[in-house]
Structure 1
Amino acid sequence: MPKSDFIKYVYFLICFIFSSVQLQAQSKITFHTDRDYYFPGDTVWFKSYIHVDGNLDTAIHNLAVAFGKGTGEILQQQLNKASLGISFGQYVLPIDFEDSDLFVNIFSKRNIKDDAVLDPAAFKLAVIQNKAVPTVNEANLYIQVEGNGWIPNAVNKLRFQWNNKNIEQALLVDEQGKELQTLKIDNKALAMAEIQSPTNKLYVHWKYKDKSYVDTVPSIEPLVRMRVTEENDSTRIWIDNQSELPAISFQYIQGDYTILDTLLNLEKGKALKIPIENWMAGRFNGKFLLKDKEQIYSKIIFKAKLADSIKIEPEYMIYRPYGPQRVQLEIPGEEEWNLSVSVVDGLIPNSELENKSEDYQFEGRKFIFYYASKSNLSVNAVQIDDPIAFLSGKIIMKDEKWQEFMELRNDREKRAKRKQEKFRGSSFGIKKLAHLNYVYREVNFDSLGHIILPNITFEDTAQIRFVQIDKRLKTFDYDLVWKFSPLPSIPNLTIPVFVKNLDYSMQYQGEFDPLTYSDDFGKTFIKPVGIERKRNNPFYRDLNEKNSLDWFLFNDANLNIDLEVEDLPPYVFEFKELMRHLRRKYPELGPDGVSNLQPMMLFNNATMAGGNVQIPADITEVSYIRYYKNYPFDNKGLGLIMVYTTGINYRNKDIGISKIKKLLVPGYHVLEEFHQAKYEGEVLVDYDDRQTLYWNPDLAMKGGEPMTISFYNSGRNSSFNIRVQGVSKSGKIIDMVKHIQEFEED
């Protein structure tokens, strides 16, 4: 192939190219899904926000998302693109999934240290089995203290979040065993408390299912921290101190600029009060730091508060099967927002328990103040480069063999130069798995074996073929390592116990069944389980449309063998060796075991034997093979083997077949588009029991400008749960759910 054509193909593969960005700090992942409860076989539609230091993390371009079971077993790990701190994706839950919990790990390059993944974000989704999600037998408590830790003799505001709503009793107890306060737990398993005590240690005694638990309220070292209060019209930062530090640095940072950096003298047992409302006037966000040299003891990030809640109002609702619906959304203010919006069947609930509690926050009149957790206090975070992923490869050979190989290669190159001939090095071929043909080019490699490639990025899976063209160099055996993802694969999921034991128990009251459906007369039918691979896979669809003719175009094969994908042993070179191997691997292609007769064999859509047929000599001349069990012109009853050829010596004519290395390399996960069902005129579907009626993960809105979303009912639902989640340009957060049903709204 001409070099210009190959460059065009590479350009076609490249979806995004970002320049490297260097940035410091730790990141936090916000994970939005179309719903919290799924059935086996459902598609989980999701969106991820990557935050760093209170803002979207624009340095991250690669995000790994792994789905799996409570045992840690990974079912699928995806590499997703991220742009401007946002990433999208989907995951199809296996139809035979038997657990009631689906777990997710998400991580970026900020989680990587010494090639190991540290503290990936963990989330839990519920899977309804037999119309229920069972109760979890264990419970856990997550405790937060305003300012990150308990300080004796100071005012302490505390937040207690359980992962189960059935907690029986909870008490605050000092280190002497004295009961100080009884906690009031709301219907979201949350309790708040404000307490001042001289005790150095504070404990929570609580009960669940007659079992007693004790948790320690976290303290802070040294005993110094910040907290925010509002009194009348004044907003202040209090610096509580029970430490021996003589002084500490206090900073106010706005964007990339340090507005204030001053040294405060401390006195043990006394608090400092600093008015801050004038500094924040006209600001959307900023942060305050309390630090000593490079050690940060406390960090508070503030963001402007949303003036009013988002409006979700029905605009045009028809509560009949397949009816059109319109809902109007409006956000107060004038800011720009990026939202994810989902509409699901009203019988699918939203969990009131969070996967993980956010940082402790104080909600003031105009601002919300977020107290950074201890894991986000480090000032010495590693700088990162996270460009878009490109394919790379390396030749692996033992040192002594590599030296011998390179000496021979140099000798062959010099010999070709003396003869004024072109030296042929290595042939590199690439194609997407669903495509028919490779794109080839000659490539070189450096003295360490790194293959010199253009920048190639791709989605889905690529199949790569690599071979030494020079006939003498083919005699050397070697291995190849291909790499695309810049993020490592994790062997198992990391599931914190709090997330693992989240209690999503519920009884499903609807009629949906992942395997069956009922018609209007109550008769039950078995659903088609997916679509046959040969019809769903674009590769086999192309084979039918482009290569099959006449009878073969309209009849499905019982077996498809693509030689570009088939893993062939190294001793298979000739066509007869290929058929001998395939007959051992696929018994239906071989003798019947009684008469020793074999299926008839034809080539390139021929319906009968005879004519001028050029039988291939070796595997380079075979494209793929199909087997038809029931072929009408087969008088032996053994079926037909149809061989599709490429033409004699057409495939790989420049490189031969020796030492061909083939490997499948996964690329970026393919982002599918959510199918919005539309019904106009007569409805001709057998059934429609969709649980998610609408999903838009990338809805851009501006405050004060209403927007209408449209969708169609399924054949069953009569109520809806509408969820709007998102972030504004200045970092404000929205997460709101509204239930709508006929004659009644909540």
Structure 2
Amino acid sequence: MKLNVSLFFVLLLISIPCFSQTSETIYAHLDKEIYLPGEQMWFKAYVLENGKPGLSSTTLYAGLYDMNGKLLQEKRYPLMLGSAAGNFQISDSIPTAGLQLRLFTKSMIRADSNNAYQRSLAVYNKKLMAGPETTATKEIVMEAFPEGGQLVAGVINHMLYAASNAPANLVAALTDQQGNFVDSIYFDALGSARSQFTPAAQKNYQLQWMEGNTLKTVALPIIAAAGAVMHTEIGGDKLYYFISKNNDIPRFNTLSLLAESGLDTLFQQSVSFKTSNQFMSSIPLDSLPGGGFWLSLKDANNNTLQRKRLLVTKKNTQPIVNIIENKPGEKGKKVIEIRITDTTMSSFSAAVIDDKFYFPNHQSSIADGLLINKTGATLYNASSNESQKDMLLTRYPASTLSVRPAEIENYLSVKISSGDKDLPPNSTLTMIVNSAATGKEFLTVPSADSRNFRRDGLVFYDSSKIYYQVNGRKDLSSSLTLQYEKFLRQPAAITAAPAVGFFANAASIASDVQERFENNIAANTRRFNDEQTMTTVIAKSKYVNPVTKRLLELEDKYVTGMAKGMARGTQLNVIDDPNAAYSDPFNYIVYRSSGLAIDGRFGARSIVSLRTADREPLLVFIDNVPTDYLQLENLQMSQVAYIKVIPGLVITSAGNSIAGVIYVFRKLGDEDKTSTGMKWQMLQGYNVTEEFKMPDYSQKGNQTTTDYRTTLYWNPNIFTDKNNRTIRIEYYNND
């Protein structure tokens, strides 16, 4: 099974702002290119501010839309060191053969609501596909880009040509408007080509090619009669630049060359033409950050003449890869160690996917404008970036980029006011944040003024209960009111997107892969997740998921023996859930676990599995002791601390079950306490990112079920620094 490994290196990347009104931009690393109905979509968003990890924004807004532009789901995640990981569950009954992912921060959309990161994704949905797409059915779209955005007469101009939906090895002709031949343009497999020519003044030029039996034409940009051009090449450890002008107009006698990243000027040099109209010099690469920046050429009046985007791959940032274990075949174990040579603190995300679910031409690193390390058999291969980085010329007219600083946020904020009553001098407020995801957090908040308390920088998840009371003044409780800055919302609809043609790079997808898609994977993804022994991805990381941390605490405190372990099933933190007391055990469990239903009437109810042919009931344990459903009926949720639901085939001390088992753990004596006498209010916090889980085939008996996974490994929380520069990736092959 051929696999594709993709790594995202945040400090090596700087995305293209595209004339954004904010200094923040986003790039999202997704686990793969193609998804199946019912799968999880895993992503990590990197927020860059002026080309560096953004620290101003603290909330990432994520939306999932169908291809018609209808909002399906929306989530909010806290940004830590400029990044946030998230996931979306793709519906089994997705209405379109594709999805749109939309990400933004508050700063990005404050001036323009459309200034969001958007990406179209393919979803294999045979019911909505008329058949495999081919490039022959699509019209070729041709574009021509001068290197700096402006053609100038009488000097050598370097050109980039981009052809969408083009067949491999397309050849076009560059001609003048009378049809006189100038040059042949040869396109590569990615639909890119480059050339250089000297346009004549007062002439127009065009590109011509044959599409079937039809001659197609696209005009080149208008040529400036007076101006200057620039050309860059990377050689060794330097960036060489060449500047030519075609006139002696005073404002062109002294030019300025600037390398810019957002609001930062990385390099600036004055260019004076004395004995000729040409100038050549170089910039040491060590003085530039790895990744991307803008290179601008301006005249004496500060008018932008040429502007282009450059990508720089620095030699000392390429990782060293060692294959530690490489067991071939189905379910074979793989262990890879990657040593990062850069000693600065870096944030990484890594994915290992079935190669059938990655098509390099679908959305390449060049198309994204980023240096993404796409890997194949040798893991690291930057050849596509090396061969094309000089071809990544500006796709925008030469213009001055207007950038606004990002608005500084501080996560979630609450303000508690005493109304028209003055607070005693030096008053403090006791605040308790009770979240089902992370438990209770006790805070002491000093008064902001004579009538208000304010607390910024709060991070809590899901629906949380906020208790508050002025210390020593319970009589003020009735006058206290809580104000909460609500999250922004995704628009209910966005512009519809064209279908994503993930069959475009081959005439059709291989028949054996189609068979896996149609008959195996889509029908069995959930079955695999239920029946395999799973393990959570563990890597050296400074990030600890607070939800998982709390669940581990409850697991260690309550669970023993064969029931211990969090790698499989659903874990429910009841003790910290402020809404639990308003439910009963049956409804609480069923509505928070997939594939279950309540069978029977009150007093004779049971919880059954919808994934067994005869709707088999699950086994029930209370405090590690096997019991019946009547005992569960008599249990009050106020007594419960922790619940585990493990579906599928299980082996317990009370016998085996093909439906699964429910473990219920009651509170201990020191835990059955409530926050009485305090005013409270329910608030919506951040969404919880699920943990990626994968099978552990080292245990006997775990290799009997067919492995239909398409994403074999996903870890969005990898951090390295000078003392920790090794990343270890362990996973098992699928079938």
**Which TM class, normalised by the smaller chain length?**
0.5 to 0.7
Q: Distance in 1 between matches of 2:555 and 2:388?
A: 63
- Look up the match of 1:393: 414
Tell whether the 8 Å contact from 2:61 to 2:74 is kept in structure 1 after alignment: yes
- Look up the match of 1:124: 120
Tell whether the 8 Å contact from 1:60 to 1:109 is kept in structure 2 after alignment: no
Q: Distance in 2 between matches of 1:330 and 1:321?
A: 27
Larger C-alpha radius of gyration, 1 or 2? 1
Equivalent residue runs for 1:88-487 within 5 Å: 88-108=85-105, 111-114=108-111, 116-130=112-126, 134=133, 140-166=141-167, 183-198=185-200, 202-204=205-207, 217-218=220-221, 224-228=227-231, 235-240=240-245, 246-247=251-252, 248-251=254-257, 261-262=269-270, 264=272, 272-277=277-282, 279-280=283-284, 288-292=295-299, 293=301, 295-299=303-307, 301=310, 303=312, 306=315, 317-325=326-334, 341-354=350-363, 357=367, 371=393, 374=396, 378=400, 380-384=402-406, 386=408, 389-394=410-415, 406-407=419-420, 409-410=421-422, 428-434=431-437, 438-439=440-441, 451-453=453-455, 455-458=457-460, 460-465=461-466, 480-483=483-486
- Could you tell me how far 1:465 is from its partner in structure 2? 3.5
Tell whether the 8 Å contact from 2:433 to 2:465 is kept in structure 1 after alignment: yes
Tell whether the 8 Å contact from 2:157 to 2:229 is kept in structure 1 after alignment: no
CA distance change for structure 1 residues 344 and 310 in 2, over 3 Å: closer, same or farther?
same
CA distance change for structure 1 residues 678 and 60 in 2, over 3 Å: closer, same or farther?
farther
Tell whether the 8 Å contact from 1:161 to 1:357 is kept in structure 2 after alignment: no
1:621-659 C-alpha deviation (Å, 9 max, x unpaired) = 898999xxxxxxxxxxxxxxx9x9999x96442137xxx
Q: Distance in 2 between matches of 1:548 and 1:88?
A: 29
CA distance change for structure 1 residues 545 and 357 in 2, over 3 Å: closer, same or farther?
closer
* Aligned residues: CA RMSD: 6.6
1:605-625 C-alpha deviation (Å, 9 max, x unpaired) = 9999xxxxx999xx9x89899
Tell whether the 8 Å contact from 1:163 to 1:503 is kept in structure 2 after alignment: no
Tell whether the 8 Å contact from 2:468 to 2:678 is kept in structure 1 after alignment: yes
Tell whether the 8 Å contact from 2:149 to 2:306 is kept in structure 1 after alignment: yes
The letter for the 2-side match of 1:357 is A
1:216-240 C-alpha deviation (Å, 9 max, x unpaired) = 5445889645422669999541234
Q: Distance in 2 between matches of 1:466 and 1:243?
A: 74
The letter for the 2-side match of 1:319 is P
Tell whether the 8 Å contact from 1:205 to 1:213 is kept in structure 2 after alignment: yes
- Look up the match of 1:654: 677
Equivalent residue runs for 1:538-557 within 5 Å: none
Is 1:666 aligned to 2:686, yes or no?
Answer: yes
CA distance change for structure 1 residues 479 and 186 in 2, over 3 Å: closer, same or farther?
same
* SS of residue paired to 2:527: coil
Tell whether the 8 Å contact from 2:305 to 2:398 is kept in structure 1 after alignment: no
Q: Distance in 1 between matches of 2:692 and 2:256?
A: 49
Among all aligned residue pairs of Structure 1 and Structure 2, give the percentage whose two residues are the same amino acid. 14
- Could you tell me how far 1:170 is from its partner in structure 2? 5.7
TM-score, scaled relative to structure 1: 0.59
Pick from 694, 711, 718 the counterpart of residue 675 of structure 1. Answer: 694
CA distance change for structure 1 residues 694 and 107 in 2, over 3 Å: closer, same or farther?
same
- Could you tell me how far 1:69 is from its partner in structure 2? 2.1
1:586-609 C-alpha deviation (Å, 9 max, x unpaired) = 9x99x98xxxx9989xxx99999x
- Look up the match of 2:616: none
Q: Distance in 1 between matches of 2:580 and 2:689?
A: 24
- Look up the match of 1:687: 706
Runs of 5+ consecutive residues of structure 2 not aligned to the other structure: 1-20, 372-383, 537-546, 592-596, 606-621, 629-633, 644-663
Q: Distance in 1 between matches of 2:443 and 2:219?
A: 64
The letter for the 2-side match of 1:280 is P
Tell whether the 8 Å contact from 2:57 to 2:79 is kept in structure 1 after alignment: yes
CA distance change for structure 1 residues 378 and 85 in 2, over 3 Å: closer, same or farther?
farther
- Could you tell me how far 1:322 is from its partner in structure 2? 1.9
Tell whether the 8 Å contact from 2:231 to 2:243 is kept in structure 1 after alignment: yes
Pick from 32, 36, 39 the counterpart of residue 39 of structure 1. Answer: 36
1:551-588 C-alpha deviation (Å, 9 max, x unpaired) = xx9xx99x9999966599xxxxxx9xx99xx9xxx9x9
* SS of residue paired to 1:453: strand
CA distance change for structure 1 residues 624 and 354 in 2, over 3 Å: closer, same or farther?
closer
Q: Distance in 2 between matches of 1:333 and 1:442?
A: 41
CA distance change for structure 1 residues 430 and 681 in 2, over 3 Å: closer, same or farther?
same
CA distance change for structure 1 residues 181 and 101 in 2, over 3 Å: closer, same or farther?
farther
Tell whether the 8 Å contact from 1:148 to 1:219 is kept in structure 2 after alignment: no
- Could you tell me how far 1:186 is from its partner in structure 2? 3.2
The letter for the 2-side match of 1:481 is Y
Tell whether the 8 Å contact from 1:359 to 1:372 is kept in structure 2 after alignment: no
Tell whether the 8 Å contact from 2:156 to 2:196 is kept in structure 1 after alignment: yes
* SS of residue paired to 1:357: helix
Q: Would you say how many aligned residue pairs link Structure 1 and Structure 2?
A: 607
Q: Distance in 1 between matches of 2:297 and 2:331?
A: 58
Q: Distance in 2 between matches of 1:212 and 1:473?
A: 82
CA distance change for structure 1 residues 373 and 162 in 2, over 3 Å: closer, same or farther?
closer
- Could you tell me how far 1:147 is from its partner in structure 2? 0.7
* SS of residue paired to 2:419: helix
1:675-731 C-alpha deviation (Å, 9 max, x unpaired) = 37443666444222222334455678999x998966454352xxxxxxxxxxxxxxx
* SS of residue paired to 2:357: coil
- Could you tell me how far 1:185 is from its partner in structure 2? 3.6
CA distance change for structure 1 residues 74 and 318 in 2, over 3 Å: closer, same or farther?
same
The letter for the 2-side match of 1:197 is P
- Could you tell me how far 1:352 is from its partner in structure 2? 1.6
Equivalent residue runs for 1:8-27 within 5 Å: 26=23
- Look up the match of 2:65: 68
The letter for the 1-side match of 2:270 is T
Tell whether the 8 Å contact from 2:434 to 2:466 is kept in structure 1 after alignment: no
TM-score, scaled relative to structure 2: 0.60
CA distance change for structure 1 residues 515 and 134 in 2, over 3 Å: closer, same or farther?
closer
Tell whether the 8 Å contact from 1:172 to 1:183 is kept in structure 2 after alignment: yes
The letter for the 2-side match of 1:693 is L
- Look up the match of 2:380: none
Tell whether the 8 Å contact from 1:100 to 1:134 is kept in structure 2 after alignment: no
Runs of 5+ consecutive residues of structure 1 not aligned to the other structure: 1-23, 396-401, 519-523, 569-574, 609-613, 627-641, 717-746
1:400-450 C-alpha deviation (Å, 9 max, x unpaired) = xx9xx833x34xx68xx9xxxx99x98754222335x65566868768987
1:343-386 C-alpha deviation (Å, 9 max, x unpaired) = 43343342324366366999999995865564896465223354
Q: Distance in 1 between matches of 2:195 and 2:53?
A: 34
Equivalent residue runs for 1:486-497 within 5 Å: 489-493=490-494
Tell whether the 8 Å contact from 1:107 to 1:120 is kept in structure 2 after alignment: yes
